[in-house]
Structure 1
Amino acid sequence: MGVRFIKISVCYFVIGVCFGMYMSMTEKFTFTPVHVHVNLLGWTAMTLAGLIYVAFPRAAETALAKIHFWIHNIALPVMMIGLALLVSGVSAAGPAVAIGGTAMVLGVIIFAINILVNVRN
């Protein structure tokens, strides 16, 4: 599970960096919130979760880890596509941001429960 998180986090890193490069080249920074969230929740948070799961295989082998993985990887694209549309002026995209964001919080809570229950000395 840890390796899966690390590998997919690199994909989010590439997406985040490409958003940053696009904004720099066009000097249009409308997508800054998307860039920041993809890098934070996609690259950084998922890399750290992956490293934690590598360090603590007991937590990685749980159903909670699998649920966390899938919620995180469904919620983040929903939230980011919605956010990209929202900052582009599509106000109807607000519910996608809310649904994706709420699911993301749920995924993080599941991760926290998994760590608190299954990571031991």
Structure 2
Amino acid sequence: MTMLEITDISASTCCAPLVREPLPVEEAAALAHTMKALADPARLRLLSIVASSEGHEACVCDLIEPVGLSQPTVSHHLKILTEAGFLSRSKRGTWAYYALVPGALDRLAALFTAV
């Protein structure tokens, strides 16, 4: 289950789901999976680099040097972020490009923000 499947938070929600009522077991498990994807310094850095890139998109070839990891390791981290619903992947020639999924960070933030 990806972060996008956790919950749909509408604008009419009075408060964050975590403070409104206890999470159901399935939602808690999905949220924990999503948070585990972010619980790595390299993945947080990669997500930040992609999110701050022009068009919120970056080639894997441009992500290797900034994080100081090998291409296979960077690709592994990007795969985890993609499976968690934070990034999307497209192939152009021999390179893979990763883009921030619109609203992915907003949906996660909304879970923790009490209004």
Task: Between the two structures, name the one with larger relative contact order (CA 8 Å, sep ≥ 6).
Answer: 2
TM-based fold match above 0.5: no
State the TM bucket, normalised to the shorter chain. Answer: under 0.3
Looking at secondary structure, tell me which structure has more strand per residue.
2
